[in-house]
Structure formats: C-alpha cells, structure tokens
Structure 1
Amino acid sequence: MEKVRFGIIGIGNIGTVHTRYLLAGVVKEACLTAVCDNDPAKHRAIRALVGEPVALFSDAEEMLTSGLIDAVIVATPHYDHPRLSIMAMRHGIHTLCEKPAGVYTAQVQEMNACARECDLVFGIMYNQRPNPLYQKVKELIESGELGEIRRSNWIITNWYRSQSYYNSGGWRATWKGEGGGVLLNQDPHQLDLWQWLVGMPVRLRAFCQFGKHRQIEVEDDVTAYAEYANGATGVFITTVAETPGTNRLEIAGDRGKVVVEEGKLRYWRLRESETEFNARWQNGFGEPECWEVSIPVAPECSDHHVITANFCAAVLRGEPLIAPGLEGINGLTLSNAMHLSTWTDDWVTLPLDEKQYLRLLQQRITTSVEKEATSRTLDASGTW
C-alpha cells in the first residue's frame, strides 16, 4: 500500500474540512476515495464538493464493505462515534474518530475493547496534541524541569458561539442529540491536553451552567476544581459566550512555572526548588532566585491534517500515534465528571461511577425537547 484510501462518514462542518484537505493532496500518503452522509438532501452539494471520482454513499456499512477504502474518518454527531467506529473496525477498516470519542465513558469502554481485539490503527482527532507549544510543555514536565506539579489553571473562553451556530442543526446543544455543550463539543481538545500534561485527578468539583447565555439545554459556562494524588490542584474555566475570550494555560511546579497564552510559551525557572529553599531559608521575607528562560518553540500548528498524516504513517509503517484511540476516554471522563458533579451538587471521585452518570444522562435525554432547525453546513475551516 503506497497511499491510505480514506472514506469519511458525515459531511457536515468538520467532515467538509477533512474532505477539502484530502482532496487537495495536503496529506501526501492519503487519498479520498469515498464519502458517506445519510441525508440525501445534502448529496447534490456533496457531489459538487468531491467531484465524480469519489464514491458517494448514504449507508455507512455499504461504504465500509465496498472495498474502496482502507481507513475511515468518523465525523458524525457524537452519539454515533462509538457505533460507527466499532462497525468500521469489525469490518477491518482502520479508524480515525473525531472528538469526542463518545458521549459517555461506558460507550468508549466498548470502543476500546473492540480496538484491543482488532489488529488495526485506531486514533482520535486530537489535533492540538502536535501543537509545538504543548509538545514543549509536556517535554518540560516529563524532563523534570518544572519539578513536582503543584497547580494547573486553564482559562479557555475563546470558544465563542452565537445562537445562530446552535440553530444550524436540530441535534446541536441538546441532551438527546449531542449529549452536552461546551465540554463535549469545544473543550475535548483542552480536556485531553490537560490530562495529557498533568495527569488525571482523583476527585473533582464542578459548577456547570445550563443554557445560561444561549437558548440551549446543555452547559455553556463551566468552572471546575480538581485535586490530584500528589496534592496538586487544578482549575478549568470555559464558556461559549465571552468575547474577547482568553486561552491561558498555567502550570506551576516546585522548580518553576510555564504559561501558554496568545500562541507563546513563557517559562520561569527557579535556581533551586521552592521545597529546598523553604527548608533552608531563615530570613523571613525572601524567595528563590528566578530566571525567565527563553525556550525555542516551533511555529504553532494545530491543523487536522497533521493528525491524519501521522495516522497514515501508523497504518503504512507502524509509527506511533500522536493521539491513540485508547486515550480518548480520559478527557471524556473529565467532562462526564463535571456534569455529574453539577447534577449531584457534590464531589465526584475518579474512577467515575459510569452507571450513575448514564442514569442521570438518560433522565435528561427523556425530557430533551425536539428542536426545529434547518440543517446548515457552516464554514469550520478556521476552527480547531
């Protein structure tokens, strides 16, 4: 195999993004040979987008068994991610799933079990992982430069979404159609990076506001506090209704601090660890000598095609995945825990009580209101 033949299931906002870069040949080891969308009303526009050489299907299984593809990108609404990914893997198709891996962790457990059984490549479209800014932060943490992590704080409020965005699809921002709001749609990138960098907490307390700023059922404003096994703490703040928004990640250890904001990385290094300084210092006021260190970082890059190119390298040459599918459950665990903490008005201890979460989610699905909306495919080319 010289090139990986891709199919795409779901040609909506993000599916169109994947379609365009594959058709443009941006990923040298990939080609688009088939697409699938179960809405016949969209097929004329899809055909105009992909041209005649690309096969167009209405049924996913028909595409998966057509012999036209080696791999598939699952880009449908969230609830279908596990079902379609499992179906693809059962048919011997390498699978790259859009974020989030699913709506609730019990779904993704089944997904992961299937992935373990199949000798196939399974990845998640976490296109922020290859961003050199976060790669460098991970390097600083793993090398011990920051020392023991004591605190992390992520303010991610530049996910602005207007009411017209939510009105562009009947499934959007409903418990029945999407299963969550900003945590499930926009923040999977940051939730994945947060746990990828500092690990998973042992317990979490969250305050989600549902339909506070938009006419939606699900959360549009969240503040969460997390505690870790080593005593470290973390705060995660997000909303879709703040402009100008902020994207600031701050991680402090006992040997320094790193901040990522506005596409830049700043690093402060202590000449000696705070722990050692505190043990020896006898003069009352004072603090460890601190240097701001300039660290070389490659230009920021978070395009989806980087993950797809890496996925192709895994299929063709066995190279390690940047975002393995098996890790897709971690960020979802955090968003589920934030929902559950708010619903129960209490702390949530990890591992998550999956049965309790699903029971409470099902209650909300039962009362979810059918939303009348005219489906529109929006230009998502400038999003993450």
Structure 2
Amino acid sequence: MSKLRYGIIGIGNMGSGHANLLQAGKIKDAVLTAVCDGFESKRDWAREHLQGVSVFEDSTAMIDSGLVDAVIVATPHYDHPSEAIKAFGKGMHVLIEKPAGVYVKQVREMNETAAKSGKKFGIVYNQRMNPLYQKLRELISSGELGEIRRTNWIITNWYRSQAYYDSGTWRATWGGEGGGVLINQCPHQLDLWQWTIGMMPTRIRAFCQMGKHRDIEVENDVTAYAEYENGATGVFITATSEAPGTNRLEVSGDRGKIVIEDGKMTFWRLRESETEFNKRNTSSFGSPEVWKFEIPAQGPSPEHAGILQNFTDAVLHGAQLVAPGEEGIDGLTISNAMHLSTWLDGWVDLPFDENLHEAELNKRIAESSFQKQASAETAKPADLSGTF
C-alpha cells in the first residue's frame, strides 16, 4: 500500500485531536478515512469538521467497511484492550491511546492477541519522542551516568480544578476511569520512569490519597517509594491540586547526577566514579571532583505527530517502533502496584498477584456511592501541540 488508511475509534478529546492532525496532512503517507463514536453529538461534530471522512456508530461497522488498514483506539480507558483485541481479530494494525488499559490482567490478554496477529501494535507514548528523555535514556544506556543509584520525580504540575472533574460523569471514578492521577495524567511519566533508566522496580510502597481537596473518589495525591534489584531506590510524587506545580526529574548514578526541569537538562558529572574515588580517598571530608554541564537543547519534540508518523512508517516501511504497544504494560504495572499497596496498606512485590488487584478494583467499583452532576459530553478536540 502507498498510504496507510486510518480509522479512529472514539472521537472525543484525544480522538478528535488525532483526526485533525491526519486531516491537516501532518502525517506523511497517511490518510484519515473513517471514524466512529457511540455519541451522536460526536458523530455530528465529525460530519461537520472532517470532510470526506466516513462516520460510523461503532468500530465493528467501521472496520467491516473495508475503508481502513489501521485503527487508533481513543476510547475511555477500560475499552482500550477490548477494542484492540477486536481490531486485531479483523486484521487491523492498532495504535492505542494511553493508558494501555486499567489493570494489568486485561492488558496482558491484549498483548498476547497482538503477538499472535502479526500486525503492528503501538501506544501513544508521545513523550518518548521528546529529545530530552531520549537523551537521558542514551546517557544512561551508554554508561555515562554509571550504575543508577536513585531516581526522584516530582510531577505536580497537573493542576485540575473541581470544574474539570465535574465535566464528565466518568471522570475520577473507579468505574469510569479506574483511577485518578496515576491512570489519567501520569502514564507518560510512569512509562518514562522505567524506560529511561532501563529497569523496573522490584517492590513498591505507595500512599495514595483519595479526593484530597477535591470532591472525587479516586487518588489525586500520591507519594511512592520504589526499590530495584541493584539496590537503587526511587521516589515518585504527583498531585493535581497544587499550584504552582513542579516537574523535576533527578537521576543519580555512580558517575554523577542528571536533572531535567523547565525543559532543560543539567549533568553534574564526576571526574571519576564515586566507587573508585571512595576506594582511594583518605580525607575525612573529601569528595569527588564534579563538572557541571548544561546539555544543549536537542530540538523540539514532535509529540503526537511524531508517534503517528513513526507508527505509519513502521507499517509501510518496517521502521522500528519508538513505543511498542506491548510496553504499555510496564507503566501500568507500576500504577497498579501503587494502588494495590495503598489498598493493602503495605509493600507490593513486582510482579504482583493480578487477580488480587482486579478483585480489589472491582470491590471499589461495587462499593462506590459517588454521585455527581456533569455537563454534557463534548467533542472538543485536544490540543496535541503541548508537552503532555
């Protein structure tokens, strides 16, 4: 095929944003041919704004039309795996929005189906396209930072008002989203946390506060502590009610420390490894010689357009995927472990009991008495030019 024909499942906030990118010709060798959504208002929006694109009520009808080669799944979180599995079964290439799903058990089934299908499978981890995090990953994998000793990410610039949470009945509910800040705002950071350093935690202890300063039932303030096989530790802090917020990632290794903040990277590099210095040092208050480098800007991040272009190139030309869909399970495993740690009030070893996590989640869905009034659902397109 000379052009990849895309169909989008769900044209709400993110789906309509992807539609606009494709319609504007931002993605080489790609064309939007069809969309579908269960909400009539969103189908009306599509008919008005997406000229020449076929509009369907459900994904089955869209895929069976023969108009698409690949689908973008941009539905509510719980439906990502089921829609992907359906699409693979009908011979589609699949690109899913984040998160991969709500709980690891359903995502594992999706990954197994993808592997059997022989089709391309990607996830919209657009922050993997960010040159800052690509550079961090490169510096760590090349050994420039030495063995990782500690990570520390404070990501609290997710300010969300009560009006935001009231804008949809599904928002910030166990039944609608399956979680709060960890499942909605932070999937990118939870992915980058393990992707850049190249390792997953072995156990996690988390403290998730539910509805802190907001009338919601899920977590919106989290402090978590992680341990790794090599003895390294990590701290992850996030919240949606702090103003102003912070986004600061520190990674310390045997050869120094790297900090990413305000869109800049700083590398404090030791002249020799701390281990070697400590072996030869005889001064009580001696410390390694350190050099400070401001890592030059690596250029703008192509964000969502970059992921779409990479996925298109993977299908048409065999390019390597920057964000394989199967890897969506890693960040989700971390967020699931944080939830489970809070629910059980203790440490959670990774891998954890997936059936136990699912049972605990279902218990909260069943016991929920949370009620709220919401404004009408809208199909306002997302601005995909921002950082997250």
Q: Do the aligned residues in 1 keep the contact of 2:36 with 2:43 (CA within 8 Å)? A: no
Q: Do the aligned residues in 2 keep the contact of 1:171 with 1:371 (CA within 8 Å)? A: no
Deviations 1:196-249 (A, max 9, x none): 122100000000011112111110100000000010000000011111111111
Cα distance in structure 1, aligned partners of 2:82 and 2:114: 12
Cα distance in structure 1, aligned partners of 2:7 and 2:178: 26
Cα distance in structure 2, aligned partners of 1:205 and 1:268: 29
Cα distance in structure 2, aligned partners of 1:48 and 1:195: 42
Once the two structures are superposed, the pairs formed by residues 322-337 of structure 1 within 5 Å of their partners are 322-337=322-337
Q: Who is 2:183 aligned against?
A: 184
Q: Who is 2:64 aligned against?
A: 65
Compute the displacement of 1:49 (Å). Answer: 1.7
Q: Who is 1:75 aligned against?
A: 74
Compute the displacement of 1:296 (Å). Answer: 3.1
Cα distance in structure 2, aligned partners of 1:110 and 1:349: 21
Moved over 4 A (4+): none
Q: Who is 1:87 aligned against?
A: 86
Please state whether the residue corresponding to 2:126 is helix, strand or coil: coil
Please state whether the residue corresponding to 2:260 is helix, strand or coil: strand
Q: Letter of the aligned partner of 2:57 in structure 1?
A: S
Cα distance in structure 1, aligned partners of 2:182 and 2:373: 23
Q: TM-score w.r.t. structure 2 length?
A: 0.97
Sequence identity of aligned pairs in percent? Answer: 62
Q: Who is 1:303 aligned against?
A: 303
Q: Who is 2:377 aligned against?
A: 375
Q: Letter of the aligned partner of 2:138 in structure 1?
A: E
Q: Letter of the aligned partner of 1:196 in structure 2?
A: W
- Structure 2: gaps (5+ residues): none
Q: Do the aligned residues in 1 keep the contact of 2:122 with 2:325 (CA within 8 Å)? A: yes
Which stretch has the larger CA shift, 289-298 or 325-334?
Answer: 289-298
Q: Who is 2:339 aligned against?
A: 339
Q: Letter of the aligned partner of 1:172 in structure 2?
A: R
Question: How has the CA–CA distance of structure 1 residues 214 and 366 changed in structure 2, closer, same or farther, with 3 Å as cutoff?
Answer: same
Q: Do the aligned residues in 1 keep the contact of 2:257 with 2:269 (CA within 8 Å)? A: yes
Q: Do the aligned residues in 2 keep the contact of 1:128 with 1:302 (CA within 8 Å)? A: no
Cα distance in structure 2, aligned partners of 1:383 and 1:11: 21
- Structure 1: gaps (5+ residues): none
Cα distance in structure 1, aligned partners of 2:180 and 2:71: 26
Q: Do the aligned residues in 1 keep the contact of 2:134 with 2:196 (CA within 8 Å)? A: no
Compute the displacement of 1:372 (Å). Answer: 3.4
Deviations 1:122-166 (A, max 9, x none): 000000001000000000000000001000000001111111211
Cα distance in structure 1, aligned partners of 2:4 and 2:372: 39
Once the two structures are superposed, the pairs formed by residues 120-269 of structure 1 within 5 Å of their partners are 120-198=119-197, 199-269=199-269
Please state whether the residue corresponding to 1:129 is helix, strand or coil: helix
Compute the displacement of 1:370 (Å). Answer: 4.9
Q: Do the aligned residues in 2 keep the contact of 1:168 with 1:376 (CA within 8 Å)? A: no
Q: Who is 1:351 aligned against?
A: 351
Cα distance in structure 2, aligned partners of 1:90 and 1:213: 44
C-alpha RMSD of the superposition: 1.1
Q: Letter of the aligned partner of 1:187 in structure 2?
A: C
Q: Who is 1:19 aligned against?
A: 19
Cα distance in structure 1, aligned partners of 2:300 and 2:137: 15
Q: Letter of the aligned partner of 2:228 in structure 1?
A: Y
Cα distance in structure 2, aligned partners of 1:285 and 1:126: 44
Compute the displacement of 1:43 (Å). Answer: 2.1
Please state whether the residue corresponding to 1:361 is helix, strand or coil: helix
Compute the displacement of 1:302 (Å). Answer: 5.0
Please state whether the residue corresponding to 2:373 is helix, strand or coil: coil
Once the two structures are superposed, the pairs formed by residues 33-48 of structure 1 within 5 Å of their partners are 33-48=33-48
Q: Who is 1:292 aligned against?
A: 292
Cα distance in structure 1, aligned partners of 2:258 and 2:352: 30
Compute the displacement of 1:379 (Å). Answer: 5.0
